[in-house]
Amino acid sequence: MSVADDPQDRRKLVSCRMYRQEFPEVEDLVMVEITRLTETGVYAKLLEYNDMEGLMILSEVSKRRFRSIHKLVRVGRQEIVLVLRVDQQKGYVDLSKKRVAPEDREECEETWNKSKTVHTILQHVCRVCKIPLVEVYTRFGWDLYDKFAHALDGLKFLLSDPDKFHEQFDVPDAIKDELVSVIKRRLATQAVKLRADVEVTCFTYDGIESIKKALRAGQALSSPEISLQVNLIAPPQYCITTTVIDKEAGIAKLTEVCTAIRTEIVSLGGNFSQKESARVDRRELDEDDL
């Protein structure tokens, strides 16, 4: 498909809502950007719904009394709001800021950040490959939201098992290479380092060799998708680390590694202990690899 150089055509190419449903549901929490303040209320665009306009009457802005609306909301600022009413026939969406429970904000923020990441990746791919964003969402983008906890998990799955991903989802051939390339670049900054600290001992005649054999049994579970390092801290303490995009998959792999080491060393007459489960490593290790 050829795309004209007109800026309006380029914007239209990458314009689409993030989710399958055209309108949000009543009581949904959504991310909006304030666009204008009037005597009627506060107007905002729903960022997840292709900038659909919503209205928040002044009484729904805050539970506290206020003299000036300008002190509570500002044009251009992003806010988490609750959907009060939806009129799909007229296209009206009524919003409320004061009804958003503080404990729900963090979850909404997390969902928004994930959705924004997915949207940005797909927009970039469509811009480069000159294919309409709505086509990409229709063919497989919205399906990712149906099949995974979040579509971002689906894009991570594409990196870990591309063949299985393409068996399940209708990705246009024209964007396959670019999609993988963009996901790798975009998600590389979101990689997290995980670690598991263990103690491995063996006081038999071949104790040292038995410990090495057990640690190698864990190291053998390393793969191109999840690379593992086994580090010596100070005998009998060892640290297993990995850097991954998918935190849950990484923790599961470290758990599997610890189980393999335990099984091997116990079978050789040794002992294994682990005081903490696999966790995010907030320190940079510089012990020597085994």
Tokens 């599997």 correspond to what residue?
A: 256
At position 217, the amino acid (one-letter code) is A
Contact by Cβ (8 Å): 51, 20: no
Strands (E), 71-158: 78-87, 92-96
List per-block mean pLDDT (blocks of 10 residues) for the chain, which spans 290 residues.
Answer: 60 93 97 93 96 95 80 90 96 95 89 94 96 97 96 90 93 95 82 91 96 96 85 94 84 96 97 90 46
At position 88, the amino acid (one-letter code) is Q
Pairing of strands 52-57, 29-37: unpaired
Token pair recorded at residue 84 = 């009060």
- Domain boundaries along the sequence of the chain: 19-100, 103-188, 192-280
Task: Give the separation between CA 84 and CA 145, rounded to whole angstroms.
Answer: 24
Task: Give the separation between CA 133 and CA 139, rounded to whole angstroms.
Answer: 10
Give the CA distances from residue 171 to residues 12, 21, 140, 144, 187, in Å, rounded to whole numbers and listed in that order: 21, 20, 6, 11, 19
Q: What is the CA radius of gyration of the chain?
A: 25
Residue 217: strand, helix, or coil: helix
**N-term to C-term CA, the chain:** 54
What's residue 287's pLDDT?
A: 36
Task: Give the separation between CA 245 and CA 253, rounded to whole angstroms.
Answer: 13
Cβ atoms < 10 Å from Cβ of 249: 18
What's residue 6's pLDDT?
A: 66
Length of the chain, please?
A: 290
Residue 289 is given by DSSP the state B
What's residue 64's pLDDT?
A: 80
Residue 279 is given by DSSP the state E
What's residue 288's pLDDT?
A: 36
Which CATH superfamily hosts domain 192-280?
EIF_2_alpha (3.30.70.1130)
What's residue 189's pLDDT?
A: 62
Class assignment of domain 103-188? mainly alpha
pTM confidence score: 0.67
Contact by Cβ (8 Å): 245, 185: no
Residue 16: strand, helix, or coil: coil
Could you say which of 2.40.50.140, 2.60.120.560, 3.40.50.2000, 3.40.50.460 is the CATH number of the domain covering 19-100? 2.40.50.140
Token pair recorded at residue 35 = 């666009």
Cβ atoms < 10 Å from Cβ of 182: 19
